[in-house]
C-alpha cells in the first residue's frame, strides 16, 4: 500500500505541461462536440444519430474509424519490426513517436467500434462466447490483445518519468512484448481485409480477392513510413524536432519495395481471375480503382526510387499520396465496391462526421500532451539538446 501511495504522490508531484495554442483550442472544441454526439448516440441509438440503414449496415465509423484507422496505425508494428527486431538502430529516432501514434490510433479505433455496436454493453461477449468461425472473431481478439500489449509497451516510456521503480520490469518485458506486438497486428491487419472474402458475390471483383487479407496486411505495412513522413513534418513544426532525411528516405524505400510487391500481387490476382479488363470498363468502379492504384501506389513508388525522396517536399508528397491512397482503398472496399450489390443510399450524418472528427481531435490532443511530458521525440541519446 505504501508503495502505491508513493506512486500517487509521484504522479501528483510531477510537473505536467500542456501549452495552449489556437490550434489546440480548436481541437478541444471539436473534441467536445464529438463527445456530446457520442453521448447522444449512446443514449438514443444508431437510428437517430446515424444515416445507417438496412442496406448499408456499415458506414463511416467502420469504414473510416476502424478499417482505415487500424491501417494508418500500422506504422507501430512496422517500426517495431525494423527497429526492435531487426535492430536497425538508424531508425530509433522515429520509433517512439510511431509507436505512440499507433497506440493512440488503436484506442480511438476501440472507441469508434464501441460507438458502432448496437448492444454496446455486450461488447465483451465474444471473449466468452467463441464464434471462432468468424473472421471478425480473430479481429476482435487480436485488436484487444494488441491494444493491451501497446499499453504495456508504453509503460516503459512512462516509467522513465513517473513510477520509476517499475522501469526495469517494463524494460525486461519489452522484447517479449515487441514480438507479441508484431504477431497480433500481422493477424488482424490481414483479417480486417479477410472480413470481405465471405461477400464474394457482393464486393466488386476489382476489390474482392482471395488474397484481400494479404493485400490489407501489405498496405498497412507500407503506409507506416508514409504516415511517419506526414507525422514528422507536422510534429517537426510543432515541437521543433527534425528527423534526418536519410532516416526517412531509408524507410520510404523499404515501403517502396513492399509497394512493388503489392502491385505485383494485385495484378497477378486480377489476371488469375480474368478481371483485368474491368479496370478499363469506364464505369465508376473501374475509374476509382485506376485512381487508387496510380495516385496511391504507382506515383509514390516513382518518388521513392527517384531523387525526389532526397528532399523534404518529396517525402511529404510521398507520405500524403500513400496515406491518401490507403484511405481511398479502404473507402473503395467499404463503399464503392459494395454500392452495386447493396443498392439504396448512404451518406454519413452530421453526427457521424462529428464523432469521427472528435475522435481524431482527441487523439491529436493526447499526442501533444504525451509528447510534451515524456521522451517521445527526443530519445535518450539526444537528451538535453532541446525541450
| Residue 166 sits in the site that holds other proteins (CB under 8 A) | no
Residue 70 Cβ, how far from other proteins at the closest point, in Å? 15
Question: 67, 71, 99, 187: which one contacts other proteins (CB under 8 A)?
Answer: 187
Q: Which is nearer to other proteins, 207 or 318 (CB)?
A: 207
Rounded distance, CA 206 to CA 209, Å? Answer: 8
Pattern 206-235, other proteins, x by CB under 8 A: ----x--x----------------------
Q: Interface with other proteins by CB under 8 A: which range of 8-16, 30-38, 174-182, 318-326?
A: 174-182
Tell me how many residues contact other proteins (CB under 8 A). Answer: 66
Distance CA 54, CA 56 (A): 6
Note whether 311 and 270 are within 8 A (CB): no
**Where in 338-357 is the site for other proteins (CB under 8 A)?**
341-342
Reduced to 3 states, what is the DSSP secondary structure of residue 51? Answer: coil
Cβ proximity to other proteins: between 81 and 378 the closer is 81
Which residue in 329, 353, 327 sits closest to 49, CA to CA?
353
| Residue of 126, 250, 286, 324 interacting with other proteins (CB under 8 A) | 126
In the structure grid, which three cell numbers stand for residue 14, read together? 510531477
Q: Which positions ≥6 away from 332 have C-beta within 8 Å?
A: 207, 288, 289, 292
- Verify binding: residue 264, other proteins, rule CB under 8 A: no
Q: Is 40 in the site for other proteins (CB under 8 A)?
A: no
Residue indicated by cell numbers 538535453:
384
Q: Distance between CA 96 and CA 74 in Å, rounded?
A: 14
Q: Nine-digit cell at 181?
A: 506486438
Phi-psi region of 329 (alpha: psi -120 to 50; beta: other; left: phi over 0): alpha
Q: How far apart (Å, rounded) are the C-alpha atoms in residues 200 and 208?
A: 7
247 contacts other proteins (rule: CB under 8 A)? no
Which one, 210 or 264, has the nearer CB to other proteins?
Answer: 210
As given in the structure block, the three cell numbers for residue 252 are 520510404
Nearest to 251 by CA among 284, 279, 221: 221
85, 178 contact by CB (below 8 A) = yes
Cβ count within 10 A of residue 31: 21
x-marked contacts with other proteins along 188-207 as a string, rule CB under 8 A? --xx--xx-xxxxxx-----
d(CA 189, CA 198): 17
C-alpha–C-alpha distance, residues 15 and 12, integer Å: 8
Using rule CB under 8 A, residue 182 touches other proteins: yes
Residues 41-80: x/- map of binding to other proteins (CB under 8 A)? --xxxxxx---xxxx-xx----------------------
- Specify the stretch interacting with other proteins by CB under 8 A; choose among 113-121, 257-265, 294-302, 346-354: 113-121
Residue with smaller CB distance to other proteins, 4 or 380: 380
Region 269-308 residues binding other proteins, contact defined as CB under 8 A:
none
CA distance 253 to 222: 10
CB of 252 to other proteins, least distance (A): 22
- Tell which one of 6, 32, 118, 264 touches other proteins (CB under 8 A): 118
Q: Which residues bind other proteins (CB under 8 A)?
A: 43-48, 52-55, 57-58, 81, 84-87, 89, 116-123, 125-126, 129-140, 156, 171, 174-175, 178-180, 182-183, 186-187, 190-191, 194-195, 197-202, 210, 213, 341-342, 380
Amino acid at each position: 500500500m505504501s508503495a502505491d501511495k508513493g506512486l500517487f504522490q509521484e504522479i501528483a508531484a510531477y510537473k505536467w505541461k500542456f501549452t495552449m495554442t489556437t490550434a489546440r483550442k480548436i481541437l478541444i472544441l471539436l473534441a467536445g462536440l464529438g463527445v456530446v454526439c457520442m453521448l447522444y448516440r449512446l443514449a438514443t441509438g444508431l437510428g437517430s444519430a446515424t444515416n445507417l440503414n438496412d442496406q448499408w449496415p456499415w458506414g463511416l465509423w467502420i469504414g473510416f474509424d476502424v478499417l482505415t484507422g487500424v491501417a494508418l496505425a500500422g506504422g507501430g508494428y512496422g517500426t517495431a519490426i525494423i527497429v526492435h527486431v531487426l535492430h536497425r538502430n538508424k531508425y530509433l529516432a522515429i520509433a517512439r513517436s510511431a509507436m505512440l501514434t499507433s497506440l493512440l490510433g488503436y484506442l480511438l479505433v476501440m472507441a469508434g467500434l464501441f460507438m458502432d455496436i448496437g448492444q454496446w454493453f455486450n461488447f465483451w461477449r465474444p471473449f466468452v462466447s467463441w464464434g471462432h468461425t468468424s473472421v471478425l472473431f480473430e479481429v476482435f481478439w487480436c485488436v484487444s490483445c494488441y491494444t493491451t500489449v501497446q499499453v504495456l509497451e508504453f509503460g516503459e516510456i512512462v516509467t522513465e518519468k513517473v513510477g520509476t521503480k517499475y522501469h526495469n520490469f517494463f524494460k525486461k518485458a519489452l522484447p517479449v512484448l515487441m514480438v507479441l506486438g508484431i504477431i497480433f497486428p500481422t493477424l488482424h491487419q490481414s483479417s480486417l481485409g479477410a472480413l470481405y472474402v465471405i461477400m464474394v458475390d457482393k464486393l466488386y471483383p476489382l476489390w474482392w480477392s482471395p488474397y484481400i487479407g494479404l493485400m490489407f496486411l501489405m498496405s498497412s505495412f507500407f503506409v507506416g513510413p508514409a504516415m511517419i513522413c506526414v507525422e514528422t513534418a507536422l510534429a517537426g513544426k510543432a515541437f521543433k524536432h527534425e528527423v534526418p532525411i536519410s532516416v526517412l528516405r531509408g524507410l520510404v524505400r523499404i515501403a517502396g519495395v513492399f509497394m512493388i510487391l503489392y502491385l505485383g500481387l494485385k495484378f497477378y490476382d486480377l489476371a488469375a481471375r480474368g478481371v483485368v479488363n474491368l479496370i478499363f470498363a469506364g464505369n465508376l468502379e473501374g475509374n476509382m480503382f485506376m485512381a487508387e492504384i496510380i495516385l496511391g501506389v504507382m506515383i509514390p513508388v516513382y518518388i521513392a526510387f527517384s531523387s525526389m525522396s532526397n528532399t523534404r517536399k518529396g517525402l511529404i508528397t510521398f507520405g500524403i499520396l500513400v496515406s491518401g491512397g490507403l484511405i481511398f482503398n479502404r473507402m473503395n472496399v467499404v463503399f464503392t465496391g459494395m454500392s452495386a450489390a447493396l443498392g439504396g443510399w448512404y451518406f454519413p450524418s452530421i453526427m457521424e462526421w462529428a464523432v469521427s472528427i472528435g475522435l481524431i481531435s482527441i487523439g491529436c490532443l493526447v499526442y501533444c500532451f504525451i509528447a510534451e511530458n515524456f521522451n517521445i521525440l527526443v530519445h535518450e541519446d539526444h537528451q538535453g539538446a532541446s525541450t
